[in-house]
Structure 1
Amino acid sequence: MNTRESIGLNLRRLRVERGLSQERLALASGIDRSYVGRIERGSENVTVEALEALTTVLGVPVRQLFDEPTDAAPARLPSGRRRK
């Protein structure tokens, strides 16, 4: 597994653990939602600035995204809007 894939899996795991959609994470961090998706798929060379913005919202240090993932990709969040 390459570094981009590790970052993507860790980002997705952290996002799902916190119950955030890609869209909510993107809005909170000031990043385009499609960019977040490409990062999670490991198809984007992510910038340090973007990593800092994402980890600030997630409340973790940047280095945590570089850890070797120990499990498979996390389950998806339920689709659809949350009820108010």
Structure 2
Amino acid sequence: MRNHVRERRGEADLSQADLAAAVGVTRQTINAIERDRYDPSIELAFKLADFFDCRIEDLFDPELDG
């Protein structure tokens, strides 16, 4: 699943550690999400969207066919 977490984090001038602390995960989790190696739980997706004050769909693109 493609995502825009890195771009949003950069726009907010946050480190991975800063974002991780804000949403209650490890820096490694944020790194894995940004590198498309880990799809977050729905709970974490909601936390990230809430943190960035946007919709989940603005952060994550499931690339659905059809």
Q: TM-score, normalised by structure 2?
A: 0.82
Q: 1:48 aligns with which of 32, 42, 47?
A: 42
- Residue segments in structure 2 that go unaligned for 5+ positions in a row: 62-66
**Distance in 1 (alpha carbons) for counterparts of 2:60 and 2:22:** 22
The 1:36–1:48 alpha-carbon spacing in structure 2 relative to 1, beyond 3 Å, is: same
* Equivalent in the alignment of 2:14: 20
Poorly superposed stretches of 4+, deviation over 6 Å: none
RMSD of equivalent CA atoms: 1.6
Higher strand share: 2
Q: Could you give the per-residue CA deviations for residues 27-55 of structure 1, whole angstroms, max 9, x where no partner exists?
A: 01111111010000000122111111112
Q: Which structure has the larger Rg over C-alpha atoms?
A: 1
Q: TM-score, normalised by structure 1?
A: 0.66
Cα distance, 1:65 vs structure 2: 1.4
Structure 1: where are the runs of 5+ without partners?
Answer: 68-84
Counterpart of 1:54, as a letter, is L
Q: How many residues in Structure 1 have an aligned counterpart in Structure 2?
A: 62
